[in-house]
Amino acid sequence: MIEVVLDTETTGLSASEGHRIVEIGCIELKDLIPTNNKFHCYLNPERKVSEEAFKVHGYTDDFLSKQKKFSQIAEDFLKFIKGKRLVIHNAEFDVSHLNNELNILGKNKINHEIIDTLQIAREKFPGSSISLDALCKRYNIDNSRREKHNAVIDCELLSKVYINLLDQREPTFELSVEKDFNSEVNYNNKVQYFNKIVKPSEEELKLHKDFLKREIKKNHFN
């Protein structure tokens, strides 16, 4: 199974208010293990960044004005995600902005299977904070590089959070195949989300067991 962990940064909260994407980050996973295949770009949004968004990611209007426009990278981006399931934290936000950019170019909307880790975390930890930072803390994932939001760093962290969410145990890294991975998740969003947590195959479990062991050493003993 090939998936893409995806994150965007924008000029503001709502695409319906004319806000645009300023950064896209993607990391490819194969059988839940990160590959070296990545997609990353900063974008010229052709408008000013809101004060609130600047506080989140720190990208200035001057810096962004020197970057490519979405129209110049759209084909490469669509080629990168083609045929792959998307893993996004708060998917409705990112997908709405991506669809807005595609609509401006007269292109079709995102029509991929999507796993929203925010929704999965909400089902697993009702009443608890489920921000990316909170989930990193829950799973002892080092997020010290995340001084501000950055699409690539956020994707790297989310890929680790995603693996832990599928593991069905918290906060350890021990693998379990006994718990039902196929339980329905109630996604109440306009975006068409993939509505099952996928049960990894025996081969997938074997492949990323070593990866998880390395993460234990990195996050607990370094």
Question: pLDDT digit string (tens) for 53-69?
Answer: 999 999 999 999 999 99
From 89, 97, 112, 149, active-site residue: 149
Residue 182 CA to residue 49 CA, distance in Å, equals 41
122 φ/ψ angles, rounded to the nearest 5 degrees: -65, -40
Q: How many domains does the chain have?
A: 1
Q: CA 192 to CA 8: how far, in whole Å?
A: 18
Whether residue 149 lies in the annotated active site: yes
pLDDT, greater one: 144 or 4: 4
* Segment 132-159, tens digit of pLDDT: 999 999 999 998 988 889 899 999 999 9
Q: Note the pLDDT of residue 14.
A: 96
Q: Is 155 left (phi over 0), alpha (psi -120 to 50) or beta?
A: alpha
What does the pLDDT average to over 103-118? 97
Q: To the nearest whole number, what is the mean pLDDT of the chain?
A: 83
pLDDT (mean) for 81-90? 97
Task: Tell me which amino acid residue 71 is.
Answer: S
Q: Using pLDDT thresholds of 50, 70 and 90, give the confidence band for residue 189.
A: very low
Domain that holds residue 170: 2-221
What pLDDT does 167 receive? 74
Which CATH number is 141's domain given? 3.30.420.10
- Which alpha helices (H) appear in the chain, and where do they start and end? 51-57, 61-65, 70-81, 91-104, 117-124, 132-138, 151-167, 202-221
Higher-pLDDT residue of 144, 39? 39
For residues 195-210, average pLDDT: 54
Interval 180-192 mean pLDDT: 38
Nearest-angstrom CA–CA distance, 98 and 70: 10
